[in-house]
Amino acid sequence: MTATHHPPHHTPDLFALSDVHGPVLRPGDDAYVAEVTGFNLSAFHNPDVVVAATGADDIVTAMRWAAATDTPVAVQATGHGANFPIDGGLLISTTRMTDVTIDPAERTATVAAGARWRHVLEAAAPYGLAALNGSSSDAGVVGYTLGGGLPILGRAYGYAADRVHSFQVVTPDATLRTATADTEPDLFWALRGGKGNVGVVTELTFDLLPLTTILGGGIYFPGEHAETVLRTWADWTTTLPIQMCSAYTILRLPPIPQIPEPLRGGFWARVALAWTGDAKEGESLLAPIRAAAPITIDTVEEMPYAAMDRIYLDPEDPLPAREACTLLRSFPPDAQTAFLAQAGPAVPDLPLLLVELRHMGGELSRPAPVEDAICARDASYLLETVGVLPDPDTAAAVESATTTLHTAMAPYGTGHTMVNLHGTPGDEHDRARAWTEEVYARLSETKSHYDPSNLLRFGHTVTAPFSPSGAH
């Protein structure tokens, strides 16, 4: 990534930020580029000011300054969701806030704003406990949970946001609040699935699972067998108990050293899985998948849950990526045919690194114990695509292929996306697809209450009916 700085858009007096314990950076400072660069390199951030927070007090100070100067605010921990440019304004970086506290008696974790899932897994494992993280332990806990959080064990245990007890959050009026179902019910609702529209989370507490090992891994088939494996997997998923969590993936992997042999540079169909029941029973259930086609690699094994990165083998190094998703209501044979026509072996030059179908249902379809803003409970499958963007020509090809595939699958969709996998947020109509009309309207109203001046307007935001004065 080339670091290109633009003149500051708006740089009010920073004296009020002198009480911040962490670094306060401006364009041109030595540490600026490293601080603003996240995992997804698809968009370069160019904020006027960066507050590298070390605790809740720093975030309160930063929000007070932003409110006083009418400076828009963005937040970044790991930057896995950094698929939009932060141009101007204030960026609050939470990478230094990584504390994790485990309460083994209550089976809970209390996690600071910048913690990654690996921090939680490492802290919880000695107590025989596990967390509802996604496919990469490198992702940040807070951003993932604010978007609902789709775990690798989702069918067995539901969404990560459903397990949250409380948030500490700084709202745009610079007030540090504790949001629970009882203390701030609207705020608590919006923070679970509504992304970062109503405040900056400094800490959250959530349930852990009494789980030490799982059966997990990936079964890789040569790409020419993609159709047979897909149709077998799709039939297989209609018969499974909720303890079996799986995904079908078509991988077109570049010939780069970061990818191990023999996968490097290859075209593959993969079934990845995590099974929480008895290992022998799980192995027995896998028989139809293993019989579908010749297997090149089979990594399925009983493993410590903390080793779950072995299952999906997500990229470990930052890269510029374009992701998108469609929630599917069903995936009948004609949908499978439409999918293969756009992503299967007949499209050898498809410029997408990954095309994945995640099996939903099970606990992911159950209502939340306490109502939240997640709108994916009616989906049977989730389609996700990821394309790498090394240059403008490739970026255009990735965009075209992404649009074509998701358009082809739209007739089988719910009409909605998951906010964390939505990709680059577009106009209001596009952003609203992450929620139902009713939930979007409630999010809009909640935002207008907690953020009447629309300070939190970067990224995947909802639009509130603001008055000219910014007050309601």
Domain containing residue 154: CATH number: 3.30.465.10
- Say what angle helices 333-343 and 226-237 make with each other, to 10 degrees: 150
Flag whether 196 is in a domain.
yes
| Average confidence (pLDDT) over 213-221 | 98
In whole angstroms, what is the distance from residue 143 CA to residue 353 CA?
Answer: 23
Flag whether 441 is in a domain.
no
Spatial CB neighbours of 407, under 8 Å, sequence gap ≥ 6: none
Regarding whether 120 and 83 lie in a shared domain, the answer is: no
Tell me the pLDDT tens digit for each residue of 267-326: 999 999 999 999 999 999 999 999 999 999 999 999 999 999 999 999 988 899 999 999
Regarding whether 108 and 234 lie in a shared domain, the answer is: no
Flag whether 380 is in a domain.
yes
Structural domain of residue 34, as residue ranges?
15-93
Regarding whether 351 and 404 lie in a shared domain, the answer is: yes
Regarding whether 235 and 148 lie in a shared domain, the answer is: no
Q: Which residues make beta-bridge pairs with 218?
A: 272
In the chain, count of helices (H) and strands (E)? 14, 17
> What is the pLDDT confidence band of residue 4, given thresholds at 50, 70 and 90?
very low
Flag whether 29 is in a domain.
yes
Regarding whether 151 and 116 lie in a shared domain, the answer is: yes
Reduced to 3 states (helix: H, G, I; strand: E, B; else coil), residue 61 is helix
What pLDDT shows up at residue 465? 65
CA-based max dimension of the chain: 67
Distances (CA, A) of 194 to 174, 327, 369, 410, 459: 20, 17, 17, 23, 12
> What is the pLDDT confidence band of residue 472, given thresholds at 50, 70 and 90?
very low
Reduced to 3 states (helix: H, G, I; strand: E, B; else coil), residue 267 is strand
Regarding whether 50 and 29 lie in a shared domain, the answer is: yes
Tell me the pLDDT tens digit for each residue of 47-102: 999 999 999 999 999 999 999 999 999 999 999 888 888 999 999 999 999 999 99
Do the Cβ atoms of 304 and 373 come closer than 8 Å? no
Q: Among all chains, which residue has been given the structure tokens 């995590």?
A: 274
Helix (H) or strand (E) holding 448: helix 437-450
Provide the domain count of the chain: 3
In the chain, the percentage of residues whose pLDDT exceeds 70 is: 96
Domain boundary among 93, 122, 142: 93
> What is the pLDDT confidence band of residue 1, given thresholds at 50, 70 and 90?
very low
The pTM of the full predicted model, rounded to 2 decimals, is 0.94
Flag whether 428 is in a domain.
no
Domain boundary among 42, 76, 93: 93
Q: Where are the beta strands (DSSP E) in 41-182?
A: 49-52, 73-76, 90-93, 100-103, 108-112, 164-171, 175-179
Domain containing residue 398: CATH number: 3.40.462.20
Q: Which two tokens stand for residue 278?
A: 């008895």
Do the Cβ atoms of 425 and 434 come closer than 8 Å? no
Regarding whether 178 and 53 lie in a shared domain, the answer is: no
Strands 164-171, 175-179: pairing kind? antiparallel
Mean pLDDT (the chain) is: 94
Regarding whether 223 and 121 lie in a shared domain, the answer is: no
> What is the pLDDT confidence band of residue 258, given thresholds at 50, 70 and 90?
confident
Regarding whether 239 and 179 lie in a shared domain, the answer is: no
What pLDDT shows up at residue 81? 86
Flag whether 8 is in a domain.
no
Q: Which two tokens stand for residue 386?
A: 């990821």
| Average confidence (pLDDT) over 128-146 | 97
Nearest to 76 by CA among 16, 24, 31, 142: 142
Tell me the pLDDT tens digit for each residue of 399-408: 999 999 999 9
Regarding whether 387 and 288 lie in a shared domain, the answer is: yes
In the chain, the percentage of residues whose pLDDT exceeds 90 is: 90
| Average confidence (pLDDT) over 31-58 | 95
Q: How far, rounded to the nearest angstrom, does the alpha carbon of residue 430 sit from its chain's CA centroid?
A: 18
Domain boundary among 61, 93, 125: 93
Regarding whether 131 and 28 lie in a shared domain, the answer is: no
Regarding whether 401 and 293 lie in a shared domain, the answer is: yes
What pLDDT shows up at residue 7? 40
| Average confidence (pLDDT) over 376-390 | 97
| Average confidence (pLDDT) over 133-152 | 97
What pLDDT shows up at residue 240? 97
Flag whether 48 is in a domain.
yes
> What is the pLDDT confidence band of residue 12, given thresholds at 50, 70 and 90?
low
Reduced to 3 states (helix: H, G, I; strand: E, B; else coil), residue 434 is coil
| Average confidence (pLDDT) over 23-29 | 96
Q: How far apart are the first and last CA of the chain?
A: 42
Do the Cβ atoms of 33 and 70 come closer than 8 Å? no
In whole angstroms, what is the distance from residue 97 CA to residue 204 CA?
Answer: 12
Domain containing residue 65: CATH number: 3.30.43.10
> 112 or 8: which carries more pLDDT confidence?
112
What are phi and psi for residue 165, nearest 5 degrees?
A: -90, -40
Cis ω before 452 (30° cut-off from 0): no
Flag whether 230 is in a domain.
yes
| Average confidence (pLDDT) over 4-29 | 74
In whole angstroms, what is the distance from residue 302 CA to residue 211 CA?
Answer: 13
